[in-house]
Each structure stands twice: as structure tokens, then as C-alpha cells.
Structure 1
């Protein structure tokens, strides 16, 4: 495939430097039980990671922003945060077993579902990245670039989905258009989660700077500066944090100053 791109891509304005991204979406056709895509030798390690990531980050429609009126509520009409968190926990457990069944490659059914989910996830990342690029939604702060998404697709309620978006955007910004935007800088993607009324903030660092913990240090400095912030900071990845919507303005003022 790479050879064909090299041989024919220049006719369409593609150069070797910017025609190869690590991820693309391909049409596999109908995924019946006899589809070649379901054969073990057709799956690479990257395919397995994409499938597992897509399944682990799946968010059921019952927990989407389009179903806010159907979410559990307290007697005063406010969202029942404990019940919503329990629904999310149950969904994550179910996602784990779906991902496990898919990557074991023992049955075609789970693998077929995983491939379909991975294709949808990759397309969602690609489409949102294109929208953010075309609308010039990526801005610069003192030491990093950032973008904020107020009405994201459902997949981006999960940190893994936002992480994939951030990495894809870095790939586009620095591998394809690096000459136009200046030197490498970390990227912070902030997504408004309307279900839990928080902002999910995920930082990503260019490969050349990957040993640095830019956002982990920044987040911790903000939390020390304003202990009154309502936040959740318990992920293994220290560049992921959730900030209550009501406190986001204070958080952002400290982070970007």
C-alpha cells in the first residue's frame, strides 16, 4: 500500500512526508461470519488495540446527552450523581468483557461487533478532528495548545475517546502541517460532559517531548493554588482530569495564566 502511494500519490499532490498517518478508515464490506476481516491472520496488533480501545470507551445511549431527561434524578429534580456513576461503572464492566471476548478471536460475533465499533470510533475521531481544524478551534496558551468541545459525540464522554482525538490531532498538526504552526507543543482537549456536568480535560504531548509530564504538573499546580475546586483526578494517566462545570472558569484562568 505504501509503495502504491509513493508511485501514484504525487499525481494527486501527496508527498511522502505527509501522506502516511498511522490510522485510516477502510470499508470492510458486510461483516458476515465468513468475512475475511474476521480471520485471525487479518488482524494486526494495531487492529486489536483499536478494537479493544473502541469497545472499552463505548458509552451506552442511556448515558448520552440526548437522554438527559431519562437519567435518574433525586426528589428535588437534580441528577442523581451516585446512580449515574453506578450506571457508568456497570457499563465499564460490560465493556471490559466485550473487549476481552473480541480480542480473544475465538468467536466471530464479538470480533465482528468490535470491528464495527472500531470503525465508528475512528470515523468519529476523524470527523471531529476535521471539524476542529476547519473551524480553527485550536488555540494557543502560554505553554500549550488547546481546544474546547461543548457538544461532543457520545464517544467523547470517555477519556479513551478523548485521548484518541488528542493523539490524532497531534498527528495531523505536527506530522502533516508542522511547518505552518511552529514548534511542537503539548495539546489539551477539553470536552463538556453534559451528563455529569463536568469538563473532561485530556492532555497529549508530541512524541519528541513524551518523557515530560507537562499536564500532570500543570494540573497539580492549579489544584494546589485553588483547593476549593470540585474535581476528579484519579486516573492512571495523570494528564486526565475532570473539573465541575461550575468551577471550570476558575480552573481555566489558573491553568492558562
Structure 2
């Protein structure tokens, strides 16, 4: 057995199954990093656009004008804009029908915003289950490759009359690389999943707070319109 203890050398000396395990873990790691960079960009943009929209919302702009602006936006609206658009559209639609109490009007509006928020959260959580899966299974895949490689090393060792450390070291080393690669794939995926889950939760909490404040504004408008109609 050759004693070429380098990463490439150990990979080339490994059995076909251990090579397959290493290549699988390498592929999982590459895909995970691609998703990590993509999700980081998406969540950063979502947080930034939410702050910009809420600043504009609280600047005192007329809600109908803001709705018109969001509805005719060329680019895809951010999560808060979609929430506002769904709520204001439902509010205007139900109020136009007339003969609706403020409570029933707000109930319909709130449901529309909840549905919109659920869709937006689903978009933000895209790829997170994959990162969680990679973080969970990669160490076990690597461990499987290690066990298989060590087993083959000892089988080969049993076929010689006089065993030395130099003979068994490369086989054990190539097997342990599979575990190392499993950890290399799992650790960034777990860290990214936890970090991104926290960021999604933070954005979702911001959407919930905005939804409550926006609902309060619409409710006051509904009550004022009812009082005007009654007068």
C-alpha cells in the first residue's frame, strides 16, 4: 500500500465507495455554499427593502397613492409591500360593497394579509430545509465512508504476514478524510441554517408588527367612514 499521504493521493487510493462518498460530500458542500450566498443576498435585500418601504409608509403619504405606486412597480415587491398591497386591496374591495361592519371589514382584510405574509415567509425560507438536511446527514455520510474505508484497510492488513504502521496508516487516513469532509459540509450548513432562520423570524416579526399597525389605521378609517355615513 503506498504511503502517499496527501489529499489527492489518499483520494486516488481510496476504494470506489469511499470515493463516491467523498464526491457526494463535496457536491453537497458546493451546493450548500451556493445556497448560503444566495440566501444571504435575498434576506439582506428583504430587510433593506422592508425598512425603506416602512419609512415611506410612515412618512405620511396617502395610502391610495402608495397602493398605486406599489401596484405599478416594475420590479417584484418586497414582503412588506406585498402585505400592504394585499391588505389595502381587500379593504377597498370589501368597503366598496357597502353594508359591512368595521369588524367584518377588518376581519377580511386581516385574513388577506395573513395569507400574503405566509406566502412571503415561504419564499424567504426557500433552501433552508436543504441546509438543515445537509447539516444533519453529512456527518453520518462521512462516518459511513470512514467505517467502510477502515474495514477495507484491516481486511487488506490481514492478508499480509507482517503488518507495519506505514502499511495501515494510508488506509486509515483515507477513511478519516471522509469524516472530515462530512464535518466540512455540515458545519457551515448548520451555522447558515440557524443564522438564516433567525433572520427570517426577525423579518416575519417585523411584518406582523406592520400588519397590526396597518390594521389599526384601516380600522380607524372604517369607523370614521361609518360615522360619516350615519351622520
* TM-score, reference length from structure 1: 0.22
* TM-score, reference length from structure 2: 0.24
Considering fraction of residues, name the structure with more helix: 2
**Which of the pair has the greater relative contact order for Cα pairs under 8 Å at 6+ separation?**
2
